[in-house]
Amino acid sequence: MLNYVKNLKNSLVECDKTIFLVLYNYIEIAMSDLDQNIWKSKLKSEKDFQIIDVRTPEEYEDLRIPNSINIDFYNPGDFMQKLQELDKNRSYYVYCRTGSRSANTCELMKEMGFSNSYNLLGGITEWKGEVEGQSIS
């Protein structure tokens, strides 16, 4: 009976560890997804950061957040090369049209060893801040 209780206890501990790791990873991923108010606030508090637009060059020229650079998510070879050239210790604020490409980019950056990459939830579609580009009249 004592062995049964010990085995049961060990199984529960392993189960708790697994649940904890799943929750921790979920929270860690979710923390890189920021609404625009938190995104703007974090930008103001940073000194060394880069804003990255991962849409196509055409989308970027049409409308963009000021001081952003363009790294085209849909150009895989160039996209990976440009990400590898970035300083992994710097902060990166990443956006796209709706937040999907940028979320994938932030996840990839995390896997590549980047410490601080933040996804703009809703992308430029929901952005209420300053913009520039050809669409501005």
Domain limits for position 7: 1-31
- 126 in a domain, yes or no? no
Query: Domain total for the chain?
Result: 2
* pLDDT recorded at residue 29: 44
- 91 in a domain, yes or no? yes
Euclidean distance between CA atoms 26 and 24, whole angstroms: 5
**Nearest to 86, CA basis, from 58, 60, 115, 46:** 115
**Comparing 30-44, 50-64, 118-132, which segment has the lowest mean pLDDT?**
30-44
- 132 in a domain, yes or no? no
pLDDT per residue as tens digits for the range 1-46: 556 545 544 555 555 666 644 554 444 444 589 999 999 999 899 9
Determine the 3-state secondary structure of 51 from DSSP: strand
42 and 84 share one domain? yes
Contact 99, 54 (CB under 8 A): no
71 and 116 share one domain? yes
- The predicted model scores a pTM of 0.77
